[in-house]
A = this chain, B = another copy of it.
Amino acid sequence: MLMTADAYRESLRSLSPRVFIDGEAVASVADEPRLAPGINAVGITYDYAHRPEHAAIMTARQSTSGALVNRMTHIDEGAADLLDKLEAVRLVCRASGCAQRYLAHDVLNGLYQATHRADATHGTDYHQRFLSWMHAVQDRDLALGIAMTDAKGDRSKRPGRQTRRDVYVHIAERRPDGIVLRGTKAIVTGAPYMHEFVVLPCRTHTAEDADFAVCCAVPVDAPGVTIVARPAGRPGEAAAKFSATYGQTTAVVIFDDVFVPHDRIFLAGEHEEAGFLTTAYATHHRHTCIGARAGFGDLLIGAGALMIEANGLDPDRHGHIRDAMVDLITITEGFYACGVAASTYCTQDPVGSVTPDVVFSNIGKLLLATKIYDMHRLAHQVSGGLIVALPGPDEDHNPETHASLAAVLGGRDDIPAAQRLAVSRLIEDLTVSHQAGWYSVISLHGGGSPEAMKREIWRHYPVREKADLVQTLLDRGVLDDTRPGSRQPGRCCARGCTEPQRLADAAE
């Protein structure tokens, strides 16, 4: 059953999480103005699944159950699924800034693969357990929060060596019917208005830190859970045309001896598979981020174009303005292309689902992480300094100044001054406000820091194969590459995916 945004908001009333914002307890998440923008943004993912024009990419058929599910909770089975997900995420993020719920997709896909792997090695039954839970999540169309980033304490020490053990979430006790969870996750996106949390490790752990290698599902209102959140977006700010409507909260989530029953535990000490889960999730998530930030790019490109127009400038005559717009497009589509390539060259996991290519996914995320700052700069270049000098919207109703300002703050004659001011304030909201800073930092560090991406690229790139290519040249005196297995020609996901499909297509 696919919920609407309204149904989703209503469904939050059945939960009673312990939430604080700015030192105050939140009585009802669904009715809290400071969280409304976050709920609106997630709501987009629900409503768009009902729109005929978007249904094809916003929904998918889950093969393990046969159910039609929201794309945000679907397991990818081929390159087409990955492309659809990328487009769906771009779609909902250009409507909401950041729709947050795609994180559910990323963790479900990671767990689908990791639980299968754990069972194969340890003879456990995690995969079946996970499937049952996942089908319920899909059927109830839930929103899931990802509790991954631990508080970490001293960055130079491993979890087991921290003075305060609670800086990492861990298994505090193992009981016959489940485990007791303790510790703190420092950055949980959208926490208050999620239905459940998926807890997973934020790093690889050694055998001696096995108790930190835990993955499970926890309802947001499970006893012992406390959520300390920030306001989502810029609720109530008159100047925040966009961010007062759509926003995102992040929260610290404290697990104070939270009991988790067996059927919600997906890993509990299998540190190697937990490490696999961490990177599998990261790959899915970095790929997804590409779609999200491309949607943000769409907003900037569109707003920039409107501003240029209102200023009376013509990009075809003002080369430096066109140049800045082309740079903005090049950045946005340049990292989006990495997402497309990662989809096209996906690999198939033993469990049958697919993973976007690790190298392309990490490159795309690395590019967006560092270039979002350039995106802000370019938006500023085409919009001019007005965006930080324009008097606030309260001034619009000041009878002593309004007429004078309206008379002079317009640009091109045939475009109302009000339009110019509205665009200016939107660009300010998207690129100058606290919300703008949030987009930057979350692009940079969300899903791992640039250094983490670089290490993954290095770890997965077939450098040896390229070295062999050149070694062959040196050995023979001339280059004569006879070996297959090179990245380009022979590269494909193993079975049933990209390459065979494409070759079949070519042979028609």
Contacts and interface: CB of A to CB of B under 8 A. Distances in A.
Number of this chain's copies in the assembly equals 4
Contact of A394 (B22, B155, B446, B486): B22
Contacts of A446: 385
A30 to B, nearest CB: 18
B306 A506 contact: no
B503 A298 contact: no
Contacts of A501: 80, 505
Given A81-B506, A373-B374, A387-B441, 15 more contacts: A23-B397, A24-B398, A83-B502, A153-B312, A153-B411, A164-B408, A186-B386, A228-B395, A241-B473, A242-B479, A319-B323, A326-B457, A337-B340, A340-B340, A423-B474
A303 B398 CA distance: 40
Given A51-B482, A340-B344, A401-B20, A299 B470 contact: yes
A208 interface: no
Contacts of A376: 373, 440
A66 to B, nearest CB: 12
Q: What 8 pairs across the A-B complex have the smallest Cβ distances?
A: A432-B437, A302-B466, A302-B470, A385-B445, A319-B319, A337-B341, A80-B502, A154-B312
Interface stretch (A116-124, A211-219, A362-370): A362-370
Interface in A395-445: 395-398, 400-401, 404-405, 407-413, 419, 422-423, 426, 428, 431-434, 436-438, 440-442, 444-445
Given A22-B392, A301-B466, A337 B360 contact: yes
B391 A228 contact: yes
Interface string A239-272: 0011001100011101010000000000000000
Given A154-B413, A337-B360, A422-B474, A20 B457 contact: no
A341 to B, nearest CB: 4
Nearest to A167: B408
Given A228-B401, A463-B325, A474-B422, A315 B479 contact: no
Interface stretch (A90-98, A107-115, A278-286): A90-98
A175 interface: no
A132 interface: no
Nearest to A249: B389
Interface stretch (A7-15, A136-144, A447-455): A447-455
A437 to B, nearest CB: 3
B252 A391 contact: yes
A388 B184 contact: no
Nearest to A331: B363
Interface string A63-98: 000000000000001111101101110110011100
B411 A154 contact: yes
A313 B155 contact: yes
A466 B305 contact: yes
Interface string A374-388: 101100110011111
21 contacts: A23-B392, A53-B490, A54-B489, A56-B489, A60-B506, A77-B506, A79-B502, A83-B344, A91-B489, A153-B411, A230-B391, A241-B477, A245-B477, A251-B389, A254-B404, A315-B458, A326-B458, A334-B334, A419-B474, A426-B474, A433-B434
A305 B466 CA distance: 8
B502 A467 contact: no
Contacts of A164: 407-408, 410
Contacts of A315: 458
A335 to B, nearest CB: 8
A68 to B, nearest CB: 10
Given A337-B363, A408-B167, A187 B299 contact: no
A242 B489 CA distance: 22
A436 B502 CA distance: 35
A359 interface: yes
A124 to B, nearest CB: 31
A315 B461 CA distance: 13
A131 interface: no
Contacts of A40: 478
A166 interface: yes
